[in-house]
A and B are shown apart, each in its own frame.
Chain A
Amino acid sequence: MSVIQVIQDQCTGCTLCVKVCPYGAIAMKDQLAVIDLHRCTLCGACVEKCPVQAIALTLERKPIEGMQDYQGIWVYAECRQGEIQPVVYELLGAGQRLARARQVPLSAVLLGGIGIGGHAVHLFQRGADRVYVAESEQLDVFQDEVYSNILVRLIREHKPEIVLAGATSMGRSLIPRAAVQLGTGLTADCTGLEIDAGTGHLLQTRPAFGGNIMATILCENHRPQMATVRHKVMAEAIADETRTSGEIIQVLINDKDRISRTAVEEIVHDVEETVNIMEADVIVAGGRGLKVPENFKLIKDLAGALNGAVAASRAAVDAGWIDYAHQVGQTGKTVKPKIYFAVGISGAIQHLVGMSSSDTIIAVNKDPNAPIFQSADYGLVGDLFEIVPELIKRFQSLR
């Protein structure tokens, strides 16, 4: 028997399941639903939609042993060049909410070179009750194996129910490794994290198919439940300057932890500060509508007038008008500025996923049907070559 089945006596042939299946795996045959198991990913969308409970998803799933022993929320406090990364404060914001919902403590894990423990106070101020500190010369630079050995050992020992980390280049290298070592589930790039009031499980929501659909993912029977979150997706925990202490747990590092088959030989920073669109409050982004490279100056001038940073759609990057470091979207960066100007950008879904959580979106496009207008708070319909110079003039005079 297969894990998913149509109970033929119950199926009324209403076709709702066919419509709801994101993978095109259900078809009607003789007015009954038939599931193509090669396409089905067992996502259960049809099971939920079926008005007559005619689709059964049966699975023997048992919770891991000792699941109840897993308690508390952990945040991986990523440091780079000895500095706590801003995403950590955002994770602590989310962590506080989850800890409150579960009525458990919030802890942070700090791994790094000598002196890293000094950051513990910042973590307490942002809501951590407990900080695990592993300080060692060998932890000065990030190494997948060493870091994940320590993190995995700590998780096995202290059994948190939830572990959150930034979806950064470090997080996306370290956390998948740790999750697989632990044999548990990991959900990447979450945009929503909630506790299911009924079951206490973590509901992890994230975009899939390049943002065309959202999926809520559950890790019901394994612990810890692990998730990564991109920078700027969650609201930062507010610092409480008076909250300067908490429990510090020093982690001893053993010889086995130190084994690494990789070595970092050189660290190069070649992305200029001005490119750091992930931190900017105002972003002006240009797309294919600018036609030729020279016109990209319009975007730079508008950004200049607004004291903002310059970004671009993939089309503009692929055309070679501007560096990849400026690309916003699925294969570029996720940004969340106060104001996002999209100029000559159509608003393809792959672009939208990178900027749709901006506070205010302003679009300039000559095509009144461009999809970007559906995401825009202010939509300026018209020729950018006429509108943008006018905008630059006005904003300059306002400064």
Chain B
Amino acid sequence: MNLIVCVKQVPNTTEVRIDPKTNTLIREGIDSILNPFDAYALEEAVQIKEQHGGTVTALTMGPPQAEQVLREAISVGADKAVLLSDPAFAGADTLATSYTLARAIRKLGDFQLILCGKQAIDGDTAQVGPGIAVHLDLPQVIFVRRIRDISGTELVAERMTETGFEAVRAKLPALVTVVKDINQPRLPSLRGKMTAAKAEIPVWTVKDLDLESGRIGLQGSPTWVRKVFSPQPRSGGRRFEGEPTAVVDEFIRTLKEDGML
């Protein structure tokens, strides 16, 4: 079974902060990481391969340094990796990103399942997975928490909903996106790390893919960011400090004054 995992390099958003004085983003020392949800997609693919045989190919679109997450993918069991990198891809929204990834997947050839993370933590859109499915005309199962069963022609997956889950049977080839309940990603083994360090990772540019130029990068993106700003902090909050019973007394009294009680 040939499996393709789409992974993305993202800034570690826990470290992204706004400088309260200058009102701009503090960027120093923010490192880039493998999108956490994609680690689950990778692990699931590797587990399927271990059970049913086949290959796992990791795919990313990003700047040259995004190669790092592909090496990480190889270190935990991916067999192959491809980096899509070209300044012409810059500014891609989810439509252009999913189009570009879909074209690369077509070039990779025969596959039964594409796995994506639920969402990428920089944009949190959860749109790229379904986008790839449409571009390749595949059925999809979104927010999968367990793959119950998979054969060469079908899978049954549990898809998370607000109140529980739905078991969905899908014909292969298909695309799934996964949530973190699905598995516990393994740590890379020493051998995995060595394989990853040595691996040759091809870089595909615009020239290597069969693309319509109007559909990639910013040009191919219907949405674009008009402006960015920092969220408004809540103002006028009151504070109660001191000895615990006094704090609670004062707090309850204020609640009553404010008509909250």
Contacts and interface: CB of A to CB of B under 8 A. Distances in A.
Complex A-B, nearest 3 residue pairs according to Cβ-Cβ distance, in ascending order: A185-B222, A185-B223, A42-B91
A238 interface: no
A256 interface: no
B223 A219 contact: yes
Contacts of A188: 123-127
A387 B247 contact: yes
A259 B39 CA distance: 33
Contacts of A266: 166-167
B245 A390 contact: yes
Contacts of B227: 44-45, 48, 215-216
A265 B165 CA distance: 11
Interface stretch (A88-96, A107-115, A123-131, A374-382): A374-382
A37 B90 contact: yes
B141 interface: yes
B226 A261 contact: no
B193 interface: no
A43 interface: yes
B240 A378 contact: yes
A41 interface: yes
Interface of B: 11, 13-14, 16-18, 22, 24-25, 27, 30, 63-65, 85, 87, 90-91, 93-95, 98, 121-127, 129-131, 133-135, 138-143, 156, 159-171, 174, 180-181, 218-219, 221-231, 233-234, 236-242, 244-245, 247-248, 251-252, 254-255, 260-261
Contact of A381 (B65, B122, B226, B240): B240
Nearest to A47: B227
Nearest to B161: A169
A80 B85 CA distance: 42
A349 B230 CA distance: 12
A369 B82 CA distance: 45
Contacts of B129: 176
A24 interface: yes
25 contacts: A22-B228, A38-B64, A42-B91, A45-B225, A61-B219, A144-B139, A179-B127, A185-B95, A187-B223, A209-B11, A212-B231, A217-B225, A218-B226, A220-B224, A261-B138, A262-B169, A264-B168, A268-B165, A269-B163, A349-B13, A373-B239, A378-B251, A382-B241, A382-B244, A382-B247
A208 to B, nearest CB: 6
> Which interface residue of B126, B237, B238, B255 has the most chain A CB atoms within 10 A?
B237
A262 B139 contact: yes
B140 to A, nearest CB: 6
Given A145-B139, A217-B224, A2 B87 contact: yes
A255 interface: no
A181 B241 CA distance: 57
B238 to A, nearest CB: 6
A260 B171 CA distance: 9
A260 B163 CA distance: 24
Given A20-B24, A185-B93, A266-B167, A210 B228 contact: no
> Which interface residue of B228, B241, B255 has the most chain A CB atoms within 10 A?
B228
A380 B95 contact: no
Contacts of B218: 3, 42, 59
A175 to B, nearest CB: 8
B16 A209 contact: yes
Given A48-B227, A265-B169, A173 B238 contact: no
A211 interface: yes
B174 A261 contact: yes
A19 B24 contact: yes
A398 B261 contact: yes
A267 B158 CA distance: 9
B90 A361 contact: no
Contacts of B248: 380, 387, 390-391, 394
Given A262-B171, A394-B248, A267 B166 contact: yes
B203 to A, nearest CB: 12
A375 B234 contact: yes
A207 interface: yes
Contact of A215 (B65, B140, B228): B228
